[in-house]
Amino acid sequence: MKTVKFPAEFSWGTATASYQVEGAWDEDGKGESIWDRFAHSEGRVLNGDTGDVACDQYHRYAEDVALMKELGLRGYRFSISWPRIFPEGKGKVNQAGLDYYGRLVDELLANGITPFPTLYHWDLPQALQDEGGWADRGIIDHFATYARTCIDALGDRVKRWMILNEPFIFTFMSYLSGMAAPGIRDSGLALRSSHIVNLAHAEAARAMRAAGSAEAIGTAFSMAASYPASDSAADRAAAERHHAWNNDWFLRPMMKGEYPAAYLDQERAIERMEVQPGDLDRLREPLDFVGINLYSRAICADAGTRKNIDVRQIPGPGPRTDYNWEVWPAAIYQMIMRVTKEYGRPPIYITENGCSYKERPGADGRVRDDRRAAFYEGYIGQVGRALAEGADVRGYYAWSLMDNFEWAAGYSQRFGIIDCDFEHGQKRTIKDSGYWYRDLIARGEIAYDETLA
Ligand code: BGC
């Protein structure tokens, strides 16, 4: 074991997303989002749960900021709800929506916490979905306008921004597997939307940069370190294709203006994306930092179907969280080192990392979630290892500040370092893992196993 000290300015925080915590789904002029529609449709979300109230952060943000302060957090990653700002996705701005985020930002700053907003964490205005959503090129300009509107309103106080949260999930999961809103299953649309998102991503970055107030603009990418299932050349190639698709499909276009080789028949994939002349030139708009959301890893074997990316994932031997995700701390180290190597040591933020465990308050009110603290100790240790070995890691954001609406799994999964009692007025209780995190931040150092692979 070795020990690493984090720099004094290291940005320790927690992350949430608008639809998962805010509630107030139709208040103060907010428009309907695709997640409102999805959750209000029968059979889409477990137990019929919705984000109508969620953690009610819209009304309780001051209480939540006070909790962050109690834990010694230095940053808060939250997302802005597009339909609060543009109820129809475009056209008329809803000032009350902008005012809400202004109040939240002011409250954070007054408590010494850096606001770190994401512009898009999946709650697309339903009105834009009705026009084709991310599969329609019209969205590129609407998104850039929305981005510019947010930075014009908040840029005097917010200096560090994320454009997207997990583009891989809101294209391939939403349009291919149908597991997320709008719940479509169409591989052609999935591919096309991935290209349009890449174009919108770059356009939004340009619009934000034109405003001149941002110090750093990045995006939070969902990543899962790709491990080959065996040493065979076929499995190693499969792991590379998985990496290209899962981890790099939205990063490489932005950084280098090109698509990584993910598909066996890449030419056909590009054709199905309906790439138009001039598009490739517009893709490149290098980010100032790379945000990594990482929970687990992917063990990849050649699937032998000779179709698409042709990868079969194999369950790993590591312990499991209550959401059945494999706990494999070295995955975060591997991922950071790979991005560091492939992109010339860019600044990196871990924008999400965490675990779902069910522990609730006991009779004495205490939440003894030792498994979560152990998870964080393992993963944050490996983040420290990457730092010690030369990666430029600037911050770490635990997912999540508190238990919240876990998408299609509703309230069945608890990712918070703070308990939220959805049955009793959204009462908050800091879990043992929250105090563990507070102590870690205060100490600023952690031990890690430098031999994990
Ligand atoms: C998302 C979060 C989500 C978390 C746990 C990430 O994919 O950005 O919104 O709650 O993982 O599933």
> Ligand 1: which residue has its CA nearest to atom 5?
406
Three-state secondary-structure class, residue 13: strand
Under 8 Å CB-to-CB from 281, ≥6 apart: which residues? 257
Ligand 1 lined by 165 (C-beta under 6 Å)? yes
d(CA 120, CA 149): 13
Share of residues in the chain with pLDDT > 90 (%): 99
- The pLDDT value recorded for residue 294 is 99
**pLDDT confidence tier of residue 387, bands split at 50, 70 and 90:** very high
Which of 178, 171, 174 is CA-nearest to residue 192? 171
**pLDDT confidence tier of residue 218, bands split at 50, 70 and 90:** very high
Give me 132's structure tokens: 């084709």
**pLDDT confidence tier of residue 1, bands split at 50, 70 and 90:** very high
Indicate which atom in ligand 1 lies nearest the CA of residue 409. Answer: 12
Ligand 1 lined by 399 (C-beta under 6 Å)? yes
d(CA 50, CA 154): 29
| 103, part of any domain | yes
Indicate which atom in ligand 1 lies nearest the CA of residue 407. Answer: 10
| Size (the chain), residues | 453
d(CA 326, CA 320): 5
Indicate which atom in ligand 1 lies nearest the CA of residue 165. Answer: 8
- The pLDDT value recorded for residue 436 is 99
Kindly give the distance from the C-alpha atom of residue 45 to the centroid of ligand 1, in angstroms, as a whole number: 15
Pocket test for ligand 1, best of 168, 294, 352 (most atoms within 8 A of CB): 352
Under 8 Å CB-to-CB from 31, ≥6 apart: which residues? 83, 84, 86, 87, 88, 89, 94, 125, 126, 127
**pLDDT tens track for 151-179:** 999 999 999 999 999 999 999 989 998 99
Alpha-carbon Rg of the chain, whole angstroms?
21
Pocket test for ligand 1, best of 122, 399, 412 (most atoms within 8 A of CB): 399
**pLDDT confidence tier of residue 136, bands split at 50, 70 and 90:** very high
**pLDDT tens track for 310-347:** 999 999 999 999 999 999 999 999 999 999 999 999 99
Ligand 1 lined by 222 (C-beta under 6 Å)? yes
Indicate which atom in ligand 1 lies nearest the CA of residue 406. Answer: 10
Determine contact, residues 407/180, Cβ cutoff 8 Å: yes
d(CA 284, CA 124): 24
| 142, part of any domain | yes
- The pLDDT value recorded for residue 452 is 98
Give me 258's structure tokens: 């090109």
Ligand 1 lined by 17 (C-beta under 6 Å)? yes
Domain tally for the chain? 1
Pocket test for ligand 1, best of 293, 372, 411, 413 (most atoms within 8 A of CB): 293
**pLDDT tens track for 26-61:** 999 999 999 999 999 999 999 999 999 999 999 999
Determine contact, residues 432/373, Cβ cutoff 8 Å: yes
- The pLDDT value recorded for residue 444 is 98
Ligand 1 lined by 166 (C-beta under 6 Å)? yes
Kindly give the distance from the C-alpha atom of residue 346 to the centroid of ligand 1, in angstroms, as a whole number: 23
- The pLDDT value recorded for residue 223 is 98
Mean pLDDT along residues 69-85: 99
- The pLDDT value recorded for residue 425 is 98
Which of 185, 35, 235, 59 is CA-nearest to residue 123? 35
- The pLDDT value recorded for residue 89 is 98
Q: Which residue has the tokens 């209550």?
A: 322
**pLDDT tens track for 246-267:** 999 999 999 999 999 999 999 9
- Report the sign of the C-alpha dihedral through residues 118, 346, 142, 91, in that order: positive
Kindly give the distance from the C-alpha atom of residue 167 to the centroid of ligand 1, in angstroms, as a whole number: 12
Indicate which atom in ligand 1 lies nearest the CA of residue 220. Answer: 8
**pLDDT confidence tier of residue 215, bands split at 50, 70 and 90:** very high
**Range of 355's domain?**
2-448
Buried b (16+ CB within 10 A) or exposed e, 233-248: eebbbbbbbbbbbbbb
Active site amino acids: 166, 352
Q: What is the pTM of this model?
A: 0.98
CATH code, 284: 3.20.20.80
**pLDDT confidence tier of residue 365, bands split at 50, 70 and 90:** very high
Kindly give the distance from the C-alpha atom of residue 363 to the centroid of ligand 1, in angstroms, as a whole number: 30
> Ligand 1: which residue has its CA nearest to atom 9?
17
Kindly give the distance from the C-alpha atom of residue 221 to the centroid of ligand 1, in angstroms, as a whole number: 11
| 424, part of any domain | yes
- The pLDDT value recorded for residue 326 is 98
- DSSP string for residues in 367-393: ---HHHHHHHHHHHHHHHHHHHTT--E
- The pLDDT value recorded for residue 308 is 95
| 453, part of any domain | no
> Ligand 1: which residue has its CA nearest to atom 10?
406
d(CA 288, CA 168): 20
Mean pLDDT for all residues in the chain: 98
Ligand 1 lined by 352 (C-beta under 6 Å)? yes
| 15, part of any domain | yes
d(CA 142, CA 207): 11
Which of 32, 29, 123 is CA-nearest to residue 80? 123
Indicate which atom in ligand 1 lies nearest the CA of residue 323. Answer: 12
Parallel, antiparallel or unpaired: strands 393-399 and 11-15:
parallel
**pLDDT tens track for 403-434:** 999 999 999 999 999 999 999 999 999 999 99
